[in-house]
Structure 1
Amino acid sequence: MKKVLSKTGVVALTIALSIPAFGGSAQAFDGPAAKNSWGCDNSSKRVNFSYTPGTVTTTVYYNNHCSYTVRAAARIENKDGAISHDCFSIPAGNSSHIKFQQGALGTFVGIYKC
């Protein structure tokens, strides 16, 4: 197998890719990365969530280790302080993601049991 980049090339490529191609201090997310999880009934297994709140949308990654479908809710607050709970189902043994649209003036609060 032919080596395409030397160690120096890999470092240079990594540094080049980490520098934004535009001015300013724009970030890919607004808030810190967050996690939440809770245990399955009568089991030591868990359902796990991770997400990084974004400016307009938030993608929630989940992994359901339970032997049954789990219901969860994304809590989103709008600019007027009204709170909505968007419930969704995660099939047993499923690992994937779901995207929530909170809008430019909304705030993604977190994931909770539904």
Structure 2
Amino acid sequence: MKKAFSKVGVVAAAVALSVPVLAGSASAFDGPAAKNSWGCDNGYPNRVNFSYHPGTVTTTVYYNNHCSYKVQASVRIEDHNGSVSIQCFSIPAGKKSHIKFQQGASGFFNGIYKGC
């Protein structure tokens, strides 16, 4: 009985299929993935959680608010010339969603902070 695929052919196909996926995802981001969270003011174990992956022009922040109240947070965006912009936003109680921030091609998303 003749084999339909050789080991070399299967490995070559797997490598060929993986290259476009890796190349496409690596160029979409210019910063490492990051997370931040803090506890609710009304007690443990409830928390508000954030994750984001800075992009070249925009950064999408994903959040999950386990607190029973609206949480205030801020992001810090720096421009290439050193100017800093602080943008505040509110996260509704018990909500999980995302928000997109525009930093421009020369800007840098520099994290999420508690309060405004």
Instruction: Report the TM-score range of the alignment, normalised by the length of the smaller protein.
Output: 0.7 to 0.9
* Offset at residue 24 of structure 1 (A): 9.6
What percentage of aligned pairs have identical amino acids?
72
Q: For 1:26 and 1:104, how far apart are their aligned partners in 2?
A: 17
* 2:92 is the counterpart of 1:91: yes
Structure 2: gaps of 5 or more residues: 1-12
**Structure 1 unaligned residues grouped into runs of 5+:** 1-11
The 4+ residue runs of structure 1 with deviation greater than 4 A are 12-15, 23-26
Equivalent residue, structure 1, for 2:43:
43
Q: Structure 2 CA distance, aligned partners of 1:78 and 1:46?
A: 31
Superposed, 1:1-114 pairs within 5 Å as 16=17, 18-20=18-20, 27-44=27-44, 45-113=46-114, 114=116
Quote the RMSD (CA, aligned, Å): 2.4
In structure 1, what is the Cα distance between the partners aligned to 2:99 and 2:26? 24
Greater helix percent: which structure?
2
Could you tell me the TM-score, scaled by structure 1's length? 0.79
Q: TM-score of the superposition, structure 2-length normalised?
A: 0.78
